[in-house]
Amino acid sequence: MGRPDHLHAIVLLSGGLDSAVTLAIAQAEGLEPHALSFDYGQRHRVELEAARRVAAAAGVRDHRVATIDLRIFGGSALTDDIDVPKGRDASSMTVGIPITYVPARNTIFLAYGLACAEVIGARDIYIGVNAIDYSGYPDCRPEFIEQFEKVANLATRAGVSGEMFRIRTPLLRLTKAEIIRRGVELGVDFTLTHSCYDPAPDGVACGACDSCQLRLAGFREAGIADPIRYARPRSA
């Protein structure tokens, strides 16, 4: 016998550290996760294999991969022929919106998650956005999440019928180190995850892009060794 609909949840799963911990939190909160990943033309498509590994290790029975080619718009180092910034210091990462920002990406992803949630009867949508170590992306801010939740409840049959959707952001106010420690507490296997924006053809992380540096700094601050391989020494 299946679980009641209200115990099901959508978890947006990129295969990165944050989304893996978000998935574990949803499960720890007693929900049955339906993982949703995206093949959007990203240069780091190796993250999709990481998402599959993470979902399988967590015992997720429903893992869907939506294909959306955001390369038709470009405008980002992740979806266009633009170099990924490397070797930036922490202060540089907090100034302006970096070229790795993908226009409207989280808006698009949440819209897909909302559609899936309405179809399967879930009312909780988990996303691993973070307002502290977030690299300046505007669609990771709490203001955006609050407004999208309002849209979700205005623009859906479930919402206008009084079955309210919730956009769940359990990592929103945590530092990267705190996220890592929480993942360890929940038994997340970080060897399965991938965070690099510009990996080598074999999937090895570069160690120099913003995402790699934030990840490395988080593990260092948490006092835990990062278990994945890097092309560069772990000096971040």
| Domain spans of the chain, in order of start | 5-190
**Res 198 pLDDT > 60:** yes
pLDDT for position 1: 41
Please name the CATH architecture into which domain 5-190 falls. 3-Layer(aba) Sandwich (3.40)
Summarize pLDDT for 157-183 with one digit per residue, the tens: 999 999 999 999 999 999 999 999 999
**Res 234 pLDDT > 60:** no
Round the average pLDDT of the chain to a whole number and report it: 93
**Res 140 pLDDT > 60:** yes
pTM score? 0.94
CA distances from 168 to 22, 91, 142 (A): 9, 29, 11
